[in-house]
Structure 1
Amino acid sequence: MNDSLRAFDFERQFDDRVALEWFQQNWGTAFVLSGTYAVLIYFGRVFMKRREKLDLRTPLMLWSLSLAVFSIMGTLRTGWYMFNVVTTHGFRRSVCDTAFYSAPVSKFWAFAFALSKAPELGDTLFIVLRKQRLIFLHWYHHITVLLYSWYSYKDHVAGGGWFMTINYTVHAFMYSYYTARAAGARVPKPFAMLITAMQITQMFAGLSVLGLVYSWKHDVHCVSTMHNIIYGSVMYLSYLLLFSVFFYQSYLKRPADEKREKRE
Protein backbone atom coordinates (compact mmCIF):
# COMPACT_ATOMS: atom_id res chain seq x y z
CA MET A 1 0.00 0.00 0.00
CA ASN A 2 1.07 3.57 -0.69
CA ASP A 3 3.37 5.04 1.96
CA SER A 4 1.23 8.19 2.00
CA LEU A 5 -1.49 6.27 3.84
CA ARG A 6 -0.43 7.36 7.29
CA ALA A 7 -2.79 6.27 10.05
CA PHE A 8 -3.47 8.19 13.24
CA ASP A 9 -2.61 6.40 16.47
CA PHE A 10 -6.26 5.68 17.35
CA GLU A 11 -6.80 4.22 13.87
CA ARG A 12 -3.70 2.06 14.00
CA GLN A 13 -4.43 0.79 17.50
CA PHE A 14 -8.04 -0.12 16.75
CA ASP A 15 -8.51 -3.90 17.02
CA ASP A 16 -10.45 -4.88 13.91
CA ARG A 17 -10.39 -8.57 14.89
CA VAL A 18 -12.38 -7.86 18.05
CA ALA A 19 -14.77 -5.70 16.00
CA LEU A 20 -15.29 -8.50 13.48
CA GLU A 21 -15.91 -11.07 16.21
CA TRP A 22 -18.45 -8.76 17.84
CA PHE A 23 -20.40 -8.31 14.62
CA GLN A 24 -20.28 -12.02 13.80
CA GLN A 25 -21.74 -12.81 17.21
CA ASN A 26 -24.19 -9.92 17.46
CA TRP A 27 -25.23 -8.87 13.97
CA GLY A 28 -28.69 -10.35 14.57
CA THR A 29 -29.20 -7.61 17.16
CA ALA A 30 -29.89 -5.34 14.18
CA PHE A 31 -33.28 -7.07 13.83
CA VAL A 32 -34.07 -6.35 17.48
CA LEU A 33 -33.06 -2.71 17.03
CA SER A 34 -35.16 -2.43 13.88
CA GLY A 35 -38.20 -3.95 15.57
CA THR A 36 -37.82 -1.68 18.59
CA TYR A 37 -37.39 1.30 16.27
CA ALA A 38 -40.63 0.50 14.41
CA VAL A 39 -42.58 0.08 17.67
CA LEU A 40 -41.24 3.35 19.07
CA ILE A 41 -42.16 5.18 15.88
CA TYR A 42 -45.74 3.91 16.05
CA PHE A 43 -46.31 4.64 19.74
CA GLY A 44 -44.35 7.87 19.53
CA ARG A 45 -46.71 9.19 16.88
CA VAL A 46 -49.72 8.04 18.93
CA PHE A 47 -48.27 9.80 21.99
CA MET A 48 -47.71 13.05 20.08
CA LYS A 49 -51.06 13.02 18.28
CA ARG A 50 -52.86 15.20 20.85
CA ARG A 51 -49.81 17.10 22.03
CA GLU A 52 -48.13 20.23 20.79
CA LYS A 53 -45.12 19.70 18.59
CA LEU A 54 -41.72 20.36 20.13
CA ASP A 55 -39.29 22.85 18.61
CA LEU A 56 -35.99 21.08 19.41
CA ARG A 57 -34.00 23.26 17.01
CA THR A 58 -30.89 23.42 19.17
CA PRO A 59 -30.75 19.67 19.93
CA LEU A 60 -31.43 18.94 16.25
CA MET A 61 -28.65 21.30 15.18
CA LEU A 62 -26.16 19.67 17.57
CA TRP A 63 -27.28 16.18 16.53
CA SER A 64 -26.91 16.97 12.84
CA LEU A 65 -23.60 18.75 13.40
CA SER A 66 -22.11 15.74 15.20
CA LEU A 67 -23.16 13.43 12.36
CA ALA A 68 -21.88 15.91 9.78
CA VAL A 69 -18.44 16.06 11.40
CA PHE A 70 -18.35 12.27 11.74
CA SER A 71 -19.33 11.83 8.08
CA ILE A 72 -16.78 14.38 6.87
CA MET A 73 -14.00 12.61 8.77
CA GLY A 74 -15.17 9.25 7.45
CA THR A 75 -15.22 10.63 3.90
CA LEU A 76 -11.68 11.98 4.14
CA ARG A 77 -10.18 8.83 5.64
CA THR A 78 -11.98 6.17 3.59
CA GLY A 79 -11.84 8.33 0.48
CA TRP A 80 -8.07 8.66 0.79
CA TYR A 81 -7.74 4.90 1.16
CA MET A 82 -9.93 4.19 -1.88
CA PHE A 83 -8.14 6.80 -3.96
CA ASN A 84 -4.82 5.12 -3.22
CA VAL A 85 -6.17 1.67 -4.07
CA VAL A 86 -7.52 2.89 -7.43
CA THR A 87 -4.38 4.81 -8.40
CA THR A 88 -1.99 2.10 -7.19
CA HIS A 89 -3.78 -1.14 -8.10
CA GLY A 90 -6.62 -0.15 -10.42
CA PHE A 91 -10.41 0.02 -10.30
CA ARG A 92 -11.04 -3.74 -10.23
CA ARG A 93 -8.87 -4.13 -7.16
CA SER A 94 -10.80 -1.31 -5.47
CA VAL A 95 -14.10 -3.14 -6.05
CA CYS A 96 -12.81 -6.52 -4.88
CA ASP A 97 -10.70 -5.14 -2.05
CA THR A 98 -11.45 -6.50 1.44
CA ALA A 99 -8.31 -5.12 3.08
CA PHE A 100 -10.43 -2.00 3.62
CA TYR A 101 -11.81 -3.64 6.77
CA SER A 102 -8.36 -4.20 8.28
CA ALA A 103 -6.05 -1.54 6.79
CA PRO A 104 -4.69 0.83 9.48
CA VAL A 105 -6.14 3.97 7.90
CA SER A 106 -9.65 2.62 7.23
CA LYS A 107 -10.41 -0.23 9.66
CA PHE A 108 -11.76 2.04 12.41
CA TRP A 109 -13.96 3.94 9.93
CA ALA A 110 -15.34 0.71 8.45
CA PHE A 111 -16.39 -0.42 11.92
CA ALA A 112 -17.69 3.02 12.87
CA PHE A 113 -19.73 3.19 9.68
CA ALA A 114 -21.56 -0.07 10.38
CA LEU A 115 -22.07 0.78 14.04
CA SER A 116 -23.32 4.31 13.25
CA LYS A 117 -26.40 2.97 11.49
CA ALA A 118 -27.89 2.22 14.92
CA PRO A 119 -27.66 5.74 16.43
CA GLU A 120 -28.72 7.23 13.08
CA LEU A 121 -32.15 5.80 13.83
CA GLY A 122 -32.37 8.78 16.18
CA ASP A 123 -33.06 11.01 13.17
CA THR A 124 -36.66 9.80 13.28
CA LEU A 125 -37.07 10.86 16.90
CA PHE A 126 -36.88 14.50 15.85
CA ILE A 127 -39.46 13.96 13.09
CA VAL A 128 -41.88 12.33 15.52
CA LEU A 129 -41.44 14.85 18.35
CA ARG A 130 -41.62 17.81 15.95
CA LYS A 131 -44.71 16.25 14.30
CA GLN A 132 -43.27 16.46 10.81
CA ARG A 133 -44.37 14.28 7.91
CA LEU A 134 -42.83 10.81 8.20
CA ILE A 135 -42.58 9.22 4.76
CA PHE A 136 -42.12 5.52 4.02
CA LEU A 137 -38.73 6.15 2.40
CA HIS A 138 -37.32 7.56 5.64
CA TRP A 139 -37.97 4.69 8.04
CA TYR A 140 -37.61 1.96 5.39
CA HIS A 141 -34.20 3.34 4.44
CA HIS A 142 -33.01 3.47 8.07
CA ILE A 143 -34.06 -0.11 8.83
CA THR A 144 -32.69 -1.73 5.69
CA VAL A 145 -29.36 0.14 5.78
CA LEU A 146 -28.85 -0.98 9.37
CA LEU A 147 -29.57 -4.61 8.52
CA TYR A 148 -27.43 -4.67 5.37
CA SER A 149 -24.49 -2.81 6.91
CA TRP A 150 -24.23 -5.17 9.89
CA TYR A 151 -24.80 -8.23 7.70
CA SER A 152 -22.08 -7.14 5.25
CA TYR A 153 -19.53 -6.13 7.86
CA LYS A 154 -19.65 -9.56 9.53
CA ASP A 155 -18.67 -11.18 6.20
CA HIS A 156 -16.19 -8.47 5.07
CA VAL A 157 -17.66 -8.62 1.58
CA ALA A 158 -16.08 -7.09 -1.52
CA GLY A 159 -17.47 -3.71 -2.52
CA GLY A 160 -17.70 -2.48 1.06
CA GLY A 161 -15.07 0.18 0.53
CA TRP A 162 -17.14 1.82 -2.20
CA PHE A 163 -20.44 1.44 -0.36
CA MET A 164 -19.09 3.09 2.79
CA THR A 165 -17.05 5.83 1.14
CA ILE A 166 -19.92 6.96 -1.07
CA ASN A 167 -22.38 6.88 1.82
CA TYR A 168 -20.01 8.83 4.06
CA THR A 169 -19.71 11.45 1.31
CA VAL A 170 -23.45 11.81 0.76
CA HIS A 171 -24.06 12.02 4.50
CA ALA A 172 -21.37 14.68 4.87
CA PHE A 173 -23.41 16.94 2.57
CA MET A 174 -26.79 15.82 3.90
CA TYR A 175 -26.09 16.35 7.60
CA SER A 176 -24.31 19.64 6.89
CA TYR A 177 -27.51 20.73 5.14
CA TYR A 178 -29.63 19.59 8.11
CA THR A 179 -27.33 21.48 10.47
CA ALA A 180 -27.70 24.69 8.49
CA ARG A 181 -31.47 24.32 8.32
CA ALA A 182 -31.77 23.63 12.06
CA ALA A 183 -29.62 26.70 12.72
CA GLY A 184 -32.15 28.80 10.82
CA ALA A 185 -30.06 29.40 7.72
CA ARG A 186 -31.86 29.83 4.41
CA VAL A 187 -30.30 27.19 2.21
CA PRO A 188 -31.07 27.58 -1.52
CA LYS A 189 -33.43 24.93 -2.92
CA PRO A 190 -30.89 23.71 -5.51
CA PHE A 191 -28.71 22.46 -2.64
CA ALA A 192 -31.52 20.19 -1.42
CA MET A 193 -31.98 19.01 -5.00
CA LEU A 194 -28.25 18.29 -5.23
CA ILE A 195 -28.35 16.09 -2.13
CA THR A 196 -31.25 14.01 -3.46
CA ALA A 197 -29.49 13.75 -6.83
CA MET A 198 -26.39 12.52 -5.01
CA GLN A 199 -28.50 9.91 -3.22
CA ILE A 200 -29.91 8.70 -6.54
CA THR A 201 -26.40 8.55 -7.98
CA GLN A 202 -25.32 6.56 -4.92
CA MET A 203 -27.96 3.94 -5.70
CA PHE A 204 -26.76 3.63 -9.30
CA ALA A 205 -23.21 3.24 -7.99
CA GLY A 206 -24.26 0.62 -5.44
CA LEU A 207 -26.02 -1.47 -8.08
CA SER A 208 -23.03 -1.14 -10.40
CA VAL A 209 -20.58 -2.28 -7.73
CA LEU A 210 -22.75 -5.27 -6.85
CA GLY A 211 -22.98 -6.15 -10.53
CA LEU A 212 -19.20 -6.10 -10.82
CA VAL A 213 -18.79 -8.17 -7.64
CA TYR A 214 -21.18 -10.74 -9.12
CA SER A 215 -19.21 -10.79 -12.38
CA TRP A 216 -15.91 -11.20 -10.57
CA LYS A 217 -17.04 -13.26 -7.56
CA HIS A 218 -15.30 -16.41 -8.80
CA ASP A 219 -12.04 -14.52 -8.53
CA VAL A 220 -10.40 -15.51 -5.24
CA HIS A 221 -9.83 -11.81 -4.51
CA CYS A 222 -13.49 -10.79 -4.99
CA VAL A 223 -15.20 -12.41 -2.01
CA SER A 224 -18.95 -12.19 -1.49
CA THR A 225 -22.04 -14.40 -1.28
CA MET A 226 -25.07 -14.68 -3.52
CA HIS A 227 -27.32 -13.87 -0.56
CA ASN A 228 -25.46 -10.61 0.01
CA ILE A 229 -25.47 -9.67 -3.67
CA ILE A 230 -29.19 -10.41 -4.07
CA TYR A 231 -30.22 -8.63 -0.86
CA GLY A 232 -28.00 -5.65 -1.67
CA SER A 233 -29.31 -5.41 -5.23
CA VAL A 234 -32.96 -5.48 -4.12
CA MET A 235 -32.19 -2.87 -1.48
CA TYR A 236 -30.36 -0.50 -3.83
CA LEU A 237 -32.96 -0.92 -6.57
CA SER A 238 -35.79 -0.10 -4.14
CA TYR A 239 -33.87 2.97 -2.98
CA LEU A 240 -33.30 4.06 -6.57
CA LEU A 241 -37.03 3.91 -7.30
CA LEU A 242 -38.08 5.57 -4.04
CA PHE A 243 -35.54 8.41 -4.21
CA SER A 244 -36.40 9.03 -7.87
CA VAL A 245 -40.09 9.32 -7.01
CA PHE A 246 -39.21 11.59 -4.08
CA PHE A 247 -37.11 13.81 -6.36
CA TYR A 248 -39.93 14.09 -8.89
CA GLN A 249 -42.62 14.84 -6.32
CA SER A 250 -40.48 17.30 -4.35
CA TYR A 251 -38.76 19.26 -7.12
CA LEU A 252 -40.28 18.58 -10.55
CA LYS A 253 -44.00 18.04 -10.03
CA ARG A 254 -46.02 21.13 -10.83
CA PRO A 255 -48.82 22.37 -8.55
CA ALA A 256 -51.28 21.90 -11.43
CA ASP A 257 -50.46 18.19 -11.49
CA GLU A 258 -51.20 17.92 -7.77
CA LYS A 259 -54.58 19.71 -8.14
CA ARG A 260 -55.52 17.43 -11.03
CA GLU A 261 -54.73 14.35 -8.94
CA LYS A 262 -56.89 15.60 -6.09
CA ARG A 263 -59.86 16.14 -8.45
CA GLU A 264 -59.43 12.64 -9.82
Structure 2
Amino acid sequence: MLLFSSNICINPCHPYNKHECMRKKSFLFSALYAACILGGRHVMKQREKFELRKPLVLWSLTLAVFSIFGAIRTGSYMMYILMTKGLKQSVCDQSFYNGPVSKFWAYAFVLSKAPELGDTLFIVLRKQKLIFLHWYHHITVLLYSWYSYKDMVAGGGWFMTMNYLVHAVMYSYYALRAAGFKLSRKFAMFITLTQITQMLMGCVVNYLVYSWMQQGQECPSHMQNIVWSSLMYLSYFVLFVQFFFEAYIGKSKSSAMAITKKSE
Protein backbone atom coordinates (compact mmCIF):
# COMPACT_ATOMS: atom_id res chain seq x y z
CA MET A 1 0.00 0.00 0.00
CA LEU A 2 2.86 2.37 0.85
CA LEU A 3 4.57 1.41 -2.38
CA PHE A 4 1.41 2.22 -4.33
CA SER A 5 1.13 5.62 -2.66
CA SER A 6 4.75 6.45 -3.33
CA ASN A 7 4.33 5.51 -6.98
CA ILE A 8 1.48 7.97 -7.29
CA CYS A 9 3.60 10.75 -5.82
CA ILE A 10 6.61 9.92 -7.99
CA ASN A 11 4.73 9.40 -11.23
CA PRO A 12 3.07 12.68 -12.28
CA CYS A 13 1.36 10.92 -15.18
CA HIS A 14 -0.57 8.55 -12.91
CA PRO A 15 -4.33 9.07 -13.60
CA TYR A 16 -5.14 9.62 -9.92
CA ASN A 17 -2.36 12.16 -9.56
CA LYS A 18 -3.42 13.92 -12.76
CA HIS A 19 -7.00 14.36 -11.57
CA GLU A 20 -5.94 15.50 -8.11
CA CYS A 21 -3.64 18.06 -9.72
CA MET A 22 -6.58 19.29 -11.80
CA ARG A 23 -8.65 19.80 -8.69
CA LYS A 24 -5.93 21.82 -6.99
CA LYS A 25 -5.17 23.83 -10.13
CA SER A 26 -8.85 24.76 -10.51
CA PHE A 27 -8.62 26.87 -7.35
CA LEU A 28 -5.30 28.36 -8.47
CA PHE A 29 -6.72 29.27 -11.88
CA SER A 30 -9.81 30.80 -10.26
CA ALA A 31 -7.70 32.91 -7.89
CA LEU A 32 -5.43 34.10 -10.71
CA TYR A 33 -8.51 34.87 -12.82
CA ALA A 34 -10.04 37.02 -10.08
CA ALA A 35 -6.71 38.79 -9.52
CA CYS A 36 -6.35 39.50 -13.24
CA ILE A 37 -9.85 40.99 -13.35
CA LEU A 38 -9.18 43.34 -10.43
CA GLY A 39 -5.69 44.26 -11.65
CA GLY A 40 -6.76 44.65 -15.26
CA ARG A 41 -9.68 46.94 -14.45
CA HIS A 42 -7.46 49.06 -12.23
CA VAL A 43 -4.85 49.45 -14.98
CA MET A 44 -7.45 50.17 -17.67
CA LYS A 45 -8.91 53.07 -15.67
CA GLN A 46 -5.88 55.11 -16.70
CA ARG A 47 -5.83 53.94 -20.32
CA GLU A 48 -7.88 54.20 -23.47
CA LYS A 49 -9.84 51.12 -24.39
CA PHE A 50 -8.50 48.66 -26.97
CA GLU A 51 -10.62 47.77 -29.99
CA LEU A 52 -9.25 44.23 -30.47
CA ARG A 53 -11.88 43.48 -33.12
CA LYS A 54 -9.78 41.07 -35.21
CA PRO A 55 -8.41 39.11 -32.22
CA LEU A 56 -11.97 38.88 -30.85
CA VAL A 57 -13.25 37.49 -34.15
CA LEU A 58 -10.50 34.86 -34.18
CA TRP A 59 -11.05 34.01 -30.50
CA SER A 60 -14.82 33.66 -30.79
CA LEU A 61 -14.58 31.75 -34.08
CA THR A 62 -12.10 29.27 -32.59
CA LEU A 63 -14.35 28.58 -29.60
CA ALA A 64 -17.40 28.38 -31.88
CA VAL A 65 -15.79 25.73 -34.12
CA PHE A 66 -14.57 23.78 -31.09
CA SER A 67 -18.05 23.88 -29.53
CA ILE A 68 -19.77 22.88 -32.79
CA PHE A 69 -17.57 19.80 -33.16
CA GLY A 70 -18.03 18.99 -29.47
CA ALA A 71 -21.81 19.34 -29.78
CA ILE A 72 -21.90 17.08 -32.84
CA ARG A 73 -19.71 14.36 -31.33
CA THR A 74 -21.24 14.28 -27.84
CA GLY A 75 -24.75 15.00 -29.13
CA SER A 76 -24.70 12.07 -31.56
CA TYR A 77 -23.48 9.76 -28.78
CA MET A 78 -26.12 10.95 -26.30
CA MET A 79 -28.86 10.71 -28.93
CA TYR A 80 -27.84 7.12 -29.72
CA ILE A 81 -27.93 6.13 -26.02
CA LEU A 82 -31.24 7.95 -25.51
CA MET A 83 -32.91 6.31 -28.51
CA THR A 84 -31.58 2.78 -27.95
CA LYS A 85 -31.35 2.47 -24.15
CA GLY A 86 -33.67 5.15 -22.79
CA LEU A 87 -33.53 8.23 -20.59
CA LYS A 88 -32.23 6.54 -17.44
CA GLN A 89 -29.27 5.00 -19.23
CA SER A 90 -28.42 8.32 -20.90
CA VAL A 91 -28.28 9.97 -17.47
CA CYS A 92 -26.72 7.24 -15.33
CA ASP A 93 -24.39 5.36 -17.68
CA GLN A 94 -20.73 6.23 -17.14
CA SER A 95 -19.72 5.02 -20.60
CA PHE A 96 -19.81 8.65 -21.74
CA TYR A 97 -16.53 9.14 -19.86
CA ASN A 98 -14.93 6.02 -21.35
CA GLY A 99 -16.23 5.77 -24.93
CA PRO A 100 -13.66 5.95 -27.75
CA VAL A 101 -15.05 9.27 -29.03
CA SER A 102 -16.98 10.75 -26.11
CA LYS A 103 -14.00 10.21 -23.76
CA PHE A 104 -11.88 12.67 -25.76
CA TRP A 105 -14.63 15.29 -25.95
CA ALA A 106 -15.48 14.93 -22.26
CA TYR A 107 -11.86 15.61 -21.31
CA ALA A 108 -11.60 18.40 -23.90
CA PHE A 109 -14.70 19.99 -22.39
CA VAL A 110 -13.18 20.01 -18.91
CA LEU A 111 -9.87 21.44 -20.13
CA SER A 112 -11.63 24.12 -22.22
CA LYS A 113 -12.98 25.81 -19.10
CA ALA A 114 -9.51 27.28 -18.46
CA PRO A 115 -8.95 29.03 -21.84
CA GLU A 116 -12.59 30.20 -21.83
CA LEU A 117 -11.60 32.51 -18.98
CA GLY A 118 -9.98 34.57 -21.75
CA ASP A 119 -13.47 35.90 -22.61
CA THR A 120 -13.14 38.27 -19.68
CA LEU A 121 -9.81 39.62 -20.91
CA PHE A 122 -11.53 41.14 -23.93
CA ILE A 123 -14.21 42.72 -21.72
CA VAL A 124 -11.59 44.28 -19.44
CA LEU A 125 -9.29 45.51 -22.23
CA ARG A 126 -12.21 46.93 -24.23
CA LYS A 127 -13.58 48.57 -21.05
CA GLN A 128 -17.00 46.98 -21.41
CA LYS A 129 -19.40 46.36 -18.56
CA LEU A 130 -18.43 43.27 -16.56
CA ILE A 131 -21.49 41.83 -14.86
CA PHE A 132 -21.49 39.49 -11.86
CA LEU A 133 -23.07 36.66 -13.87
CA HIS A 134 -20.13 36.60 -16.30
CA TRP A 135 -17.25 36.03 -13.90
CA TYR A 136 -19.28 34.03 -11.38
CA HIS A 137 -20.32 31.63 -14.15
CA HIS A 138 -16.74 31.20 -15.40
CA ILE A 139 -15.28 30.50 -11.96
CA THR A 140 -17.95 28.08 -10.75
CA VAL A 141 -18.07 26.07 -13.99
CA LEU A 142 -14.28 25.69 -13.90
CA LEU A 143 -14.30 24.59 -10.26
CA TYR A 144 -17.22 22.19 -10.65
CA SER A 145 -16.11 20.53 -13.89
CA TRP A 146 -12.47 20.11 -12.83
CA TYR A 147 -13.48 18.87 -9.40
CA SER A 148 -16.17 16.43 -10.60
CA TYR A 149 -14.52 14.92 -13.68
CA LYS A 150 -12.56 12.30 -11.68
CA ASP A 151 -15.75 10.96 -10.07
CA MET A 152 -17.49 10.35 -13.44
CA VAL A 153 -20.79 11.40 -11.89
CA ALA A 154 -24.15 10.57 -13.45
CA GLY A 155 -25.60 13.32 -15.61
CA GLY A 156 -22.21 14.46 -16.91
CA GLY A 157 -23.06 13.52 -20.48
CA TRP A 158 -26.14 15.74 -20.38
CA PHE A 159 -24.31 18.62 -18.71
CA MET A 160 -21.45 18.64 -21.23
CA THR A 161 -23.60 18.13 -24.32
CA MET A 162 -25.96 20.96 -23.37
CA ASN A 163 -23.03 23.27 -22.71
CA TYR A 164 -21.43 22.42 -26.05
CA LEU A 165 -24.71 23.12 -27.86
CA VAL A 166 -25.29 26.48 -26.18
CA HIS A 167 -21.68 27.57 -26.68
CA ALA A 168 -21.79 26.57 -30.34
CA VAL A 169 -24.59 29.09 -30.90
CA MET A 170 -23.28 31.71 -28.46
CA TYR A 171 -19.71 31.91 -29.76
CA SER A 172 -20.94 31.89 -33.36
CA TYR A 173 -23.05 34.92 -32.48
CA TYR A 174 -20.07 36.63 -30.82
CA ALA A 175 -17.88 35.95 -33.86
CA LEU A 176 -20.44 37.42 -36.25
CA ARG A 177 -20.96 40.47 -34.06
CA ALA A 178 -17.21 41.07 -33.74
CA ALA A 179 -16.87 40.75 -37.52
CA GLY A 180 -19.30 43.62 -37.94
CA PHE A 181 -22.47 41.75 -38.92
CA LYS A 182 -25.70 43.35 -37.76
CA LEU A 183 -27.78 40.66 -36.11
CA SER A 184 -31.34 40.78 -34.89
CA ARG A 185 -31.89 41.42 -31.21
CA LYS A 186 -34.07 38.34 -31.24
CA PHE A 187 -30.94 36.25 -31.85
CA ALA A 188 -29.44 37.47 -28.56
CA MET A 189 -32.74 36.83 -26.79
CA PHE A 190 -32.83 33.30 -28.20
CA ILE A 191 -29.32 32.58 -26.86
CA THR A 192 -30.27 33.75 -23.37
CA LEU A 193 -33.42 31.62 -23.49
CA THR A 194 -31.36 28.57 -24.45
CA GLN A 195 -29.08 29.29 -21.48
CA ILE A 196 -32.09 29.52 -19.17
CA THR A 197 -33.40 26.22 -20.58
CA GLN A 198 -29.98 24.63 -20.07
CA MET A 199 -29.96 25.60 -16.40
CA LEU A 200 -33.49 24.32 -15.89
CA MET A 201 -32.58 21.03 -17.56
CA GLY A 202 -29.50 20.77 -15.33
CA CYS A 203 -31.76 20.96 -12.27
CA VAL A 204 -34.07 18.30 -13.76
CA VAL A 205 -31.15 15.93 -14.44
CA ASN A 206 -29.90 16.36 -10.87
CA TYR A 207 -33.39 15.59 -9.57
CA LEU A 208 -33.55 12.41 -11.67
CA VAL A 209 -30.15 11.26 -10.40
CA TYR A 210 -31.23 11.90 -6.81
CA SER A 211 -34.56 10.08 -7.29
CA TRP A 212 -32.97 7.00 -8.84
CA MET A 213 -30.30 6.90 -6.12
CA GLN A 214 -33.01 7.06 -3.43
CA GLN A 215 -34.79 4.15 -5.11
CA GLY A 216 -31.60 2.09 -4.89
CA GLN A 217 -31.07 2.02 -8.64
CA GLU A 218 -27.59 2.17 -10.12
CA CYS A 219 -26.96 5.83 -10.86
CA PRO A 220 -23.41 6.64 -9.67
CA SER A 221 -23.13 9.97 -7.90
CA HIS A 222 -23.02 11.27 -4.33
CA MET A 223 -25.08 13.73 -2.36
CA GLN A 224 -22.35 16.34 -2.08
CA ASN A 225 -22.03 16.55 -5.86
CA ILE A 226 -25.79 16.64 -6.40
CA VAL A 227 -26.24 19.42 -3.84
CA TRP A 228 -23.45 21.62 -5.21
CA SER A 229 -24.45 21.00 -8.81
CA SER A 230 -28.10 21.80 -8.07
CA LEU A 231 -27.20 25.00 -6.22
CA MET A 232 -24.96 26.00 -9.11
CA TYR A 233 -27.59 25.39 -11.77
CA LEU A 234 -30.32 27.03 -9.70
CA SER A 235 -28.20 30.15 -9.15
CA TYR A 236 -27.46 30.28 -12.90
CA PHE A 237 -31.16 29.95 -13.66
CA VAL A 238 -32.05 32.88 -11.37
CA LEU A 239 -29.22 35.07 -12.70
CA PHE A 240 -29.96 34.36 -16.37
CA VAL A 241 -33.67 35.05 -15.86
CA GLN A 242 -32.76 38.32 -14.13
CA PHE A 243 -30.38 39.18 -16.97
CA PHE A 244 -33.09 38.42 -19.57
CA PHE A 245 -35.57 40.79 -17.95
CA GLU A 246 -33.01 43.55 -17.43
CA ALA A 247 -31.45 43.27 -20.89
CA TYR A 248 -34.56 42.75 -23.03
CA ILE A 249 -37.83 43.32 -21.18
CA GLY A 250 -36.64 46.33 -19.15
CA LYS A 251 -34.93 47.98 -22.11
CA SER A 252 -38.01 47.45 -24.28
CA LYS A 253 -40.19 49.20 -21.72
CA SER A 254 -37.68 52.05 -21.37
CA SER A 255 -37.50 52.50 -25.13
CA ALA A 256 -41.30 52.51 -25.42
CA MET A 257 -41.60 55.12 -22.66
CA ALA A 258 -38.92 57.28 -24.31
CA ILE A 259 -40.75 57.15 -27.65
CA THR A 260 -44.04 58.04 -25.95
CA LYS A 261 -42.50 61.06 -24.21
CA LYS A 262 -40.96 62.28 -27.47
CA SER A 263 -44.30 62.02 -29.26
CA GLU A 264 -45.95 64.04 -26.48
TM-score (norm 2): 0.88
Aligned to 1:208: 204
Aligned to 2:4: none
Aligned to 2:220: 223
Deviations 1:89-141 (A, max 9, x none): 10111011111000012000000001100110000000000000000000000
Q: Are 1:23 and 2:19 counterparts? A: yes
Q: Please, which runs of 5 or more residues in structure 1 have no aligned partner?
A: 1-16, 260-264
Is the contact between residue 98 and residue 156 of structure 1 (CA under 8 Å) also seen in structure 2? yes
Aligned to 1:247: 244
The one-letter amino acid of 1:54's match is F
Q: Are 1:117 and 2:110 counterparts? A: no
Is the contact between residue 60 and residue 179 of structure 1 (CA under 8 Å) also seen in structure 2? yes
- Percent identical: 60
Bigger radius of gyration:
2
Pairs within 5 Å for 1:153-232: 153-218=149-214, 219=216, 221-232=218-229
Deviations 1:117-168 (A, max 9, x none): 0110000000000000000000000000000111111110000000000000
> Take 2:15 and 2:42, find their aligned partners in 1: how far apart are those partners?
38
Q: Which of the numbers 47, 63, 73 marks the counterpart of 1:77?
A: 73
Is the contact between residue 19 and residue 111 of structure 1 (CA under 8 Å) also seen in structure 2? no
Q: Please, which runs of 5 or more residues in structure 2 have no aligned partner?
A: 1-12, 259-264
Pairs within 5 Å for 1:44-83: 44-83=40-79
The structure carrying a bigger helix percent of its residues is 2
**Change beyond 3 A, Cα 1:106–1:217:** same
Measure how far apart 1:216 and its partner are. Answer: 1.1
Is the contact between residue 200 and residue 244 of structure 1 (CA under 8 Å) also seen in structure 2? yes
> Take 2:55 and 2:220, find their aligned partners in 1: how far apart are those partners?
42
The one-letter amino acid of 1:241's match is V
Tell me the secondary structure at the aligned position of residue 128 of structure 2. Answer: coil
Is the contact between residue 155 and residue 209 of structure 2 (CA under 8 Å) also seen in structure 1? yes
Aligned to 2:6: none
Is the contact between residue 127 and residue 133 of structure 1 (CA under 8 Å) also seen in structure 2? yes
Aligned to 2:10: none
Measure how far apart 1:24 and its partner are. Answer: 3.3
Measure how far apart 1:77 and its partner are. Answer: 0.3
Aligned to 1:88: 84
Deviations 1:199-218 (A, max 9, x none): 00000000000000111125
- The Cα RMSD (Å) is 1.7
Tell me the secondary structure at the aligned position of residue 27 of structure 1. Answer: helix
Q: Are 1:37 and 2:33 counterparts? A: yes
**Change beyond 3 A, Cα 1:257–1:149:** farther
Is the contact between residue 22 and residue 147 of structure 2 (CA under 8 Å) also seen in structure 1? no
Is the contact between residue 81 and residue 89 of structure 2 (CA under 8 Å) also seen in structure 1? yes
Deviations 1:36-89 (A, max 9, x none): 100110010000001000000000000000000000000000000000101111
> Take 2:14 and 2:109, find their aligned partners in 1: how far apart are those partners?
16
> Take 1:134 and 1:177, find their aligned partners in 2: how far apart are those partners?
19
> Take 2:160 and 2:22, find their aligned partners in 1: how far apart are those partners?
20
The one-letter amino acid of 1:101's match is Y
> Take 2:55 and 2:162, find their aligned partners in 1: how far apart are those partners?
27
Quick check: 209-218 or 19-28, which moved more?
19-28
> Take 1:18 and 1:205, find their aligned partners in 2: how far apart are those partners?
35
TM-score (norm 1): 0.88
- How many pairs are equivalent? 243
Measure how far apart 1:19 and its partner are. Answer: 6.0
> Take 2:87 and 2:28, find their aligned partners in 1: how far apart are those partners?
37
